[in-house]
Amino acid sequence: MEFDINQATEEDIPVLYALYDQLGKQDAGYFEALFAKECFVLIAEQDKQAVGFGVLNFNPKYSLYQKLDIPEIQDLNVISDRREQGIATALITAFEQIAQDQGAEHMGISVGLTKEYGAAQRLYCKLGYIPDGNGVTYDRAFTETGRAYPLDDDLCLMMVKNFVTF
């Protein structure tokens, strides 16, 4: 099946919340905050129905990305019955192009550590993302050896892709 990737606007906020609801997520004010921070939000559509979205943040919370001026792909989601069709890959490719057009030499992305993120872990590696070498983070902050952290969506492996080849 074919799909389209389009940049979302504030007029798409109801569509984005409907997608969030389909994914079992709730976060009032989330999308409004993204647009206020001037993030790029892309929506994937198939048969005129929104089936996925993602966010490109040029001002990420993660300190290493801030220090190295690395934009981060965040909150990449495709509804379950539309996965394995190349939609996430197309969203990532579109974000990479936007970042490169803005002069970025690297792209960041994070992935959860549980089995539910297995497909994303494999996809990101396949697309050239590698761990940044700093271990896992919790809510984008470095973790400390010997300290316990909840195994939830905030415990992530931070990854990076280099666009520049030597």
Q: So where are the chain's domains?
A: 4-162
User: What phi and psi, each to the nearest 5 degrees, are found at residue 34?
Assistant: -60, -45
Residues 23-42 have pLDDT tens digits of 988 889 999 999 999 899 99
| Burial of 115 from C-beta contacts in 10 A (0-12 / 13-18 / 19+) | exposed
pLDDT at 43: 97
Residues 83-108 have pLDDT tens digits of 989 999 999 999 999 999 999 999 99
Q: Tell me the mean pLDDT in the region 37-66.
A: 95
- C-alpha atoms less than 13 angstroms from C-alpha of 116 in its C-beta half-sphere: 9
pLDDT band per the 50, 70, 90 thresholds, residue 2: confident
Q: Tell me the mean pLDDT in the region 48-64.
A: 95
Chain centroid to Cα 28, Å, comes to 19
Residues 125-153 have pLDDT tens digits of 999 999 999 999 999 999 999 999 999 99
Residue 163 clears pLDDT 70, i.e. is over it? yes
DSSP 8-state class, residue 77: E
Token pair for 94: 């579109």
pLDDT at 97: 97
Q: Could you say which architecture CATH assigns to the domain 4-162?
A: 3-Layer(aba) Sandwich (3.40)
